Structures are given as structure tokens and as C-alpha cells.
Amino acid sequence: MADNRGGPAHDPPETVADVGEFGLIERVTAGRVQPATTLVGPGDDGAVVAAADGRVVASTDLLVEGVHFRLDWSTPEHVGRKAIAVNMADIAAMGAVPTALLVGLACPATTRSEVAEGLAAGMWQEAAAAGAGLVGGDVVTASEIVISVTALGDLQGREPVTRGGARPGDVVAVCGRLGWSAAGLAVLGRGFRSPVNVVGAYRVPEPPYAAGPQAALAGATAMIDVSDGLLADLGHLVEESSVAIDVRTDLIEVHQRLVDVGTALGADPKHWVLTGGEDHALAATFPEPAAVPAGWRTIGTVTRGGAVTVDGKPYAGGPGWQHFR
Amino acid sequence: MADNRGGPAHDPPETVADVGEFGLIERVTAGRVQPATTLVGPGDDGAVVAAADGRVVASTDLLVEGVHFRLDWSTPEHVGRKAIAVNMADIAAMGAVPTALLVGLACPATTRSEVAEGLAAGMWQEAAAAGAGLVGGDVVTASEIVISVTALGDLQGREPVTRGGARPGDVVAVCGRLGWSAAGLAVLGRGFRSPVNVVGAYRVPEPPYAAGPQAALAGATAMIDVSDGLLADLGHLVEESSVAIDVRTDLIEVHQRLVDVGTALGADPKHWVLTGGEDHALAATFPEPAAVPAGWRTIGTVTRGGAVTVDGKPYAGGPGWQHFR
């Protein structure tokens, strides 16, 4: 509550209860421009989205305050961008182009309306950057902030790239940042706010959306969004493809910025790269080294077996993130 | 926690933390059968769903424990069915057939695994009854149970029926139950558990899914899912179509069961029919009385103006549900 003693009178901050469900929806949708794929946008029972090739890719995620984000570490705009980015990364990991997003916001009635509007602004920003529309949503009362996002995508006539197609002899490559979000989280956890590009990587991942369709066109045999950590997510490829993957640390780039942060915090930056989640890089397998597209970095090979190894051995540093564990 | 004093030793109930994120996902998806429209099902970064006519209808909703459901009033199976039903009703209200659902479950790590599995069982049951697949999901930690559902649907070549097409001279008709969920909620709120069909209507709505495409084929000019209450949702049609609607109470059926419950509780059952939410009936406008399909009940007319009236006058009983208000 505002404290008015000894100063000019301030109104208490406007809350979502002041604005109301329909008022809030009006505010966050009015005047927004939709892409051509949005045939019927927000405001009806359902949206209608073009699915030109007769199929639609769909993925959904939940983000919970205190679990997936903290509003003392990120602005509402950051959180909104992140919520959209993590979902569109899943679409890209199938080899598809994001077309549309549906969003749910559960929050306390006392939530400041500028928080809800900031979340929405970040969502619109990230969606627009990828050419996707924000086509529908729901706003409800809850005791904490929970954001749901469902992303839709278009395969543009290509076959989806699943987790199950890797074959022995394939090469493993990645595109996008690895370890940056984990480094940013470590920095924030120690009470620091810089380096800003490392902290920024935690606040808003930058998935390489175009690299998903690019990999599909290049003949990627399997692909995954690196959300839980490189080794953990390669573990999903290994499981679904019934293969083994060996990662070679001499092929793993550790950016000088991460080395600097690791030195400052007494942490091993290579561990962030191998196990840090939430950067939403893409990892894929390709049938031969020549198939690896520009911008992708080869990091290992697919072999027979059923495990992920690092330089031929089980990784000693522990696994990636799993909920409830 | 189990109390073992003075009796045989009981293991504490298994929690979702015991099972783990991936274990829970495995349990609730293993052995389930998908419809032919599910081209890639759960377990990859994204699902791939057929969208044969080159468009997809999409709608999303959040359900929060204590706001949208209570686990002392409903079983987890009831809640799972309801979560799916409310979304598929939105798809039907566009004139489409539900094809696929994506589900998010946020819950405390201490949630009993049988609750999560019951929710999933109810979801599968309701989806399968409409021929739709459960194609993807997410499970995360939160301090209360929040369920997100996104439904996808197929227009089968028809134009979507929006809220904006009603014209003066159209007739207004409804299909499905009205007032039953509100009556059931009133019964439960007084501490009763019967009549079971009224209480059951609150626990699991029975949207007339097939009536949506039926109305579209019959030339419906506008349509809406009655989620907030008949008058409130007709208000959305009025706003989007820039028309007025007059509801005639002599055309409103009040089932004898609702009359009985109203008498027992000292409540007006017609008020439940006019303003009670969560039955997920469909309301639509048709260009002439002869166009109203079998199974639909004419309840009023579309005129010029900009309000919803009852027997020519504003309704005195108050509006329907709005979040945060």
C-alpha cells in the first residue's frame, strides 16, 4: 500500500481487480497487429490460425513465479518474453516456424495491473520478433502467478524432426547459447546484477528459432530444445533414438565471459555449458559432418549403445533439472 | 500424513515428488491410444496434429483449485473431465470438431500421485469421448493446483462461427443444459451431496459438442459457449455483433429437478438458468426459425440496439461471473 504520510497524496497502485478480467484483456490486446496467419484473433471462443500444409505443431509449458522466474530478478517484460521464447523454441526444435501463441495468466487479484500489462508487452514483443501472433488467452484468479503458453507452428511441408531419428555415425551439433542462463542464475543467486549480458541470458533466453527449420532442411535426423541442460536433453535423444552419444569437451566452446564469471564465483564454467538449463539452444544430429549447417557447432558423435558420455566416460558432474526431484 | 499409531503400519501416500516429473508423464501417457489426427503424440518437443482444411481452431483455459474446482467436492477424475470439457466447448462454439488437447499441470510436490493420475484419467476419458487426442503437456511445481488446457479443432471446411455475425431478425437458440451447474454449486455450498444429477452437472459439464458443427451447417450467424451465464454470454454476442437480444422467459425451460432444488434451497431456479455459468451449453443465432436445428431451443430474438433484455426489460437479477470482480 502507498504510504501517504508527510508527502503528496498517492493513489494506491492499480490492481488487476481494479481493471477486471475483461478490462485487462482489452488493454493487452487493443491495437495489436496480427500476422496474416491469424485468421480469427483474440476475443472469440477460439482463434483460427492458418495451417497451410495441413498439419500443426503444438507445444505447451507452464511457468510459475518462484520456480521459473522471480519478479525481483526479472521485469514483467523479461518474464513475458521468456514465457513465449521457451515455447517457440519447442516449435523450432520440431523443424517448424512459430505461427501463433495462446496464453493463460493466473494471478492474485492484488497483482498490480502494470505487472500483468508488462508480462503481456513482453509476450507480444517476443512473438512479433518471430512473426507469430498472440491469438488467445485466459485470465483467472490464483494465489501465485502461473503463466501457461501454448505455441503453434507450421512445418511448411517438411517432415517433423523428432527425438527418435538419430543413427550411429551421425554427428551431434548445437546452435545457440549454452551455459549462459545458468551463469546468470549463479550471478543473481550471489546478489550481483552484472555482467549484464550473462544476467540478461537468464532473464530472456534467445533461442535460435530459424535454426530449427534450417536443420530440418539440412537433413537433421533428430533434434531437441536444450531446456533441462545439454547432457540431460541429449539423454532424451539417446533414449528415443536407442543410440549413444559421446560429447567431446575439446569441441565445447566456453565463452570468455563465462570463464570470467566462473573465476569470479569459483565455479566451473564448463559445467554450466554441459548441464545448465534454460538457454533453449537447439541440439541436433546430422548424417554427416558436411550436413551441419552454418552457425551450428559440432560437439560429438552418435554411436551404438544407450548412454550419454563425455570424452568416452559418464559425466561426473550430475544431471540437469527435473521437476519434483 | 499417515497416522500409524495403534494400527498396522501404513506407508505414507505416494506423492508426485516420489514419482518424479518424467515418471508421472510416463504413467499418464503409457498405453494410451491416439486418434488418427495425432501425427506425433506426447514425448517430443512438440506434437504434430492433422489440420486437414489448412486451418486450426485453438482455445486455452486455466483452472485453479479453490476457484474453479474443489477436491472435496469433486474427484480428480471429475476435475480432469471438466478441464477438458470447458475447452472443447469453446472449439464447438466456433463450429469446429475437437482434435487435440495440450495440458499443463502445476501442483505442489506433496500432491498425492493418485490425484495427478486421476486428473489425467478424467482428461483422457473426456477427450476420447469427443474423439480428440491428448497430445502434449507439462508438469511443474507450484504451491497450488493449476491446470491449463489448450484445445485444437478442425473446421472441416466450414467457415468459423464467430460472436460477431448476429443480425436483427435472427432468432436466438440454445442447446445443452442451463442452470444445472449453478444449482449443483448451490447444493454443495449448503453441505448437501444430492440430487446427484444436479451435483454431477456442477462437477462435470456436458457440453453438446456435436451441436456446434451442427449449428454451423444449419447457417448459424453467431455462436458462443455459455460459460459465464446465459445473459452475460449473450451480452458478448450483442457487443461483438452490435445488435440487441431479447430473451423471452416463456420460452425458457426450467427443468423440474431445478424447480425442486430451488424450492428446497429457497432460490429462484429461473435465475440459475439465466445467469448460472459453467454448464457450457451453446447459444447461437439463426437467420430464421426454420433454420434452428433439432435439439436446439429457441429462446428469443435479435433486434436493433445494444443490450440484452429479458421480456423487453433489463434483467434485475445481476450479471454472470467475471474474474477479479
Distance from CA of A124 to the nearest CA of B (A): 17
Contacts (Cβ under 8 Å, ≥6 apart) of B238: B166, B244, B245, B306, B307, B308
Q: Are strands A297-303 and A97-107 parallel, antiparallel or unpaired?
A: unpaired
Q: Which whole number is the average pLDDT over B191-195?
A: 92
- Does pLDDT of A208 surpass 50? yes
Residues of B in contact with A111 (CB under 8 A): none
User: How confident is the model at residue A7, as a pLDDT?
Assistant: 45
AA letter at B15 = T
Alpha-carbon distance A299 to B290, whole Å?
68
pLDDT tens digit string along B249-283?
999 989 999 999 999 999 999 999 999 999 999 99
pLDDT tens digit string along B49-79?
999 999 999 999 999 999 999 999 999 999 9
- Does pLDDT of B325 surpass 50? no
Distance from CA of B324 to the nearest CA of A (A): 5
- Does pLDDT of B165 surpass 60? yes
Beta strands in chain B (DSSP E): 38-40, 47-50, 55-64, 97-107, 133-141, 146-154, 171-175, 222-226, 244-247, 281-286, 297-303, 308-310
AA letter at A241 = S
Alpha-carbon distance B49 to A96, whole Å?
13
Could you please report the per-residue DSSP string of A94-132?
TT-EEEEEEEEEEE-TTSBHHHHHHHHHHHHHHHHHTT-
Q: Is A96 part of the contact surface with chain B (CB cutoff 8 Å)?
A: yes
Percentage above 90 pLDDT, chain B: 90
User: How confident is the model at residue B318, as a pLDDT?
Assistant: 61
- Does pLDDT of B174 surpass 80? yes
User: How confident is the model at residue A22, as a pLDDT?
Assistant: 85
For testing the chain B interface, which of A27, A34, A60, A97 should be mutated: the one with the most B CBs within 10 Å? A60
Contacts (Cβ under 8 Å, ≥6 apart) of B250: none
- Does pLDDT of A99 surpass 90? yes
User: How confident is the model at residue A4, as a pLDDT?
Assistant: 40
Q: How confident is the model at residue B163 (pLDDT cuts 50, 70, 90)?
A: very high
- Specify the higher pLDDT residue, B20 or B318: B20
User: How confident is the model at residue A325, as a pLDDT?
Assistant: 45
Of A48, A148, A162, nearest to B40 by CB-CB distance is A162
CB contacts under 8 A, A 130-169 vs B, are 135-144, 146, 148, 150-153, 155, 160, 162-164
Q: Is B114 part of the contact surface with chain A (CB cutoff 8 Å)?
A: no
Percentage above 90 pLDDT, chain A: 90
Under DSSP, is residue B121 helix (H, G, I), strand (E, B) or coil?
helix
- Does pLDDT of A5 surpass 50? no
Q: How confident is the model at residue A9 (pLDDT cuts 50, 70, 90)?
A: low
Q: How confident is the model at residue B214 (pLDDT cuts 50, 70, 90)?
A: very high
Alpha-carbon distance B192 to B181, whole Å?
14
pLDDT tens digit string along A271-321?
999 999 999 999 999 999 999 999 999 999 999 999 999 999 999 876 555
Half-sphere exposure of B179 (CA within 13 A, CB side): 21
Contacts (Cβ under 8 Å, ≥6 apart) of B25: B42, B43, B137, B139
The helices-and-strands tally (H runs, E runs) of chain A is 10, 12
Mean pLDDT over each residue of chain A, to the nearest integer: 93
* Sheet with A308-310, edge to edge strand ranges: A222-226, A281-286, A171-175, A297-303, A244-247, A308-310
Q: In a 10 Å sphere around its CB, with 0-12 CB exposed, 13-18 middle and 19+ buried, how is residue B297 labelled?
A: middle
Of A55, A90, A104, nearest to B62 by CB-CB distance is A104
Q: In a 10 Å sphere around its CB, with 0-12 CB exposed, 13-18 middle and 19+ buried, how is residue A27 labelled?
A: middle
Q: Is A86 part of the contact surface with chain B (CB cutoff 8 Å)?
A: no
User: How confident is the model at residue B6, as a pLDDT?
Assistant: 44
pLDDT tens digit string along B77-135?
999 999 999 999 999 999 999 999 999 999 999 999 999 999 999 999 999 999 999 99
Cβ atoms of A107 and A137 within 8 Å: the answer is no
User: How confident is the model at residue A1, as a pLDDT?
Assistant: 38
Q: Which domains does chain B have, with CATH numbers?
A: 16-154 (3.30.1330.10), 171-310 (3.90.650.10)
Read off φ and ψ for residue B241, nearest 5 degrees. -95, -10
Say how many C-beta atoms besides its own lie within 10 A of residue B178's C-beta.
28
CB contacts under 8 A, A 205-264 vs B, are 223-225, 240
Alpha-carbon distance A26 to A43, whole Å?
9
Q: What's chain B's length in residues? A: 325
